[in-house]
Amino acid sequence: MRLPTLSPYDVDSLTFARKERIGNTRLFVGREEELNSLIKWALQIPREMSKSNALLARRKKGKTAILERMFNYIYTLNTNLVPFYFEVKEDDVWINHFAEDFYRGFVSQYLGFKLKNLSLIRKPPEFAKLKELSRQNQLTVLEEDINAFENLSKRKDAGPLMWHHAAAAPQAIASVTGDFILQIIDEFQFLNSKIFLDKKLKQKKEDIPGIYLSVAESKVAPILAAGSWVGWLMSIIRLQLPARFTRQTLPNFKPEEGLHAVVNYSNISDVPVTDETACLINRLCYSDPFYISAVIRSQYKQKDLTTPGGVLKTLEYEVLSPQGDIHNTWLEYIQKSISQVNDKYARKIILFLLKNPGKEWSSEALREELKLPYKDKNLHLKLDALEKGDLILEGSTLFSYRGVTDEIFEKVVRHKFGDQIEKIPQELENRLKEENKRLRGKLNYYKGHWAEFLILNFLRHEAHQEPDHLKDRVYNYKEGTRFREYKEVKSHMFKLADGRVREIDVYAVCYDEPEHEINDLAFEVKNRETRKTGPEEVNVFVRKLEDLRQTGRPIEGIFYSASGFTEEAVKKLEESNLMYTDYDRWWGSE
pLDDT number for residue 538 = 96
Q: Domain limits of the chain? A: 25-249, 255-323+423-443, 327-416, 450-588
Got the DSSP string for 196-249?
A: ESSTTS-SB-TTGGGGHHHHTT-SSS-EEEEES-HHHHHHHHHHTSTTS-EEEE
| Of 222 and 445, the one with more pLDDT | 222
Q: pLDDT tens digits, residue range 57-107? A: 877 888 999 999 999 999 999 999 999 999 999 899 999 999 999 999 999
| Cα 182 from chain centre | 20
Percent of the chain predicted with pLDDT > 90: 42
Point out the least confidently predicted range of 234-248, 477-491, 556-570: 234-248
What is the predicted pLDDT for the residue at 19? 93
- Does the pTM exceed 0.75? no
Return the SS3 of 494: strand
- Which 3 state secondary structure label does DSSP give 93? strand
Tens digits of per-residue pLDDT, 393-422?
878 777 788 877 777 887 887 777 765 434
DSSP 419: -
Local structure of residue 531 (DSSP, 8 states) = P
> Which residues, 6+ apart, have CB-to-CB distance to 180 below 8 Å?
45, 46, 80, 81, 82, 174, 220, 221
Q: What does the pLDDT read at residue 131?
A: 96
Mean pLDDT of the residues in the chain? 85
Instruction: Write out pLDDT tens, residues 322-362.
Output: 899 998 888 887 777 766 655 567 777 887 887 777 788 88
The residues, ordered by sequence, that sit 6+ positions from 567 with a Cβ below 8 Å of its Cβ are: none
Q: Taking a C-beta distance cutoff of 8 angstroms, is the pair 276, 259 a contact?
A: no
Tens of pLDDT, residue by residue over 231-261, are 667 777 777 777 788 888 888 888 888 888 8
CATH of domain 450-588: 3.40.1350.10
- Given CATH 1.10.10.10, say whether it is the number of domain 327-416: yes
Q: What is the pLDDT of residue 83?
A: 97
- pLDDT interval class at 587 (50, 70, 90): confident
**How high is the pLDDT of residue 431?**
52
CATH topology of domain 25-249: Rossmann fold (3.40.50)
What is the reported pLDDT for 3?
Answer: 61
pLDDT at res. 500: 77
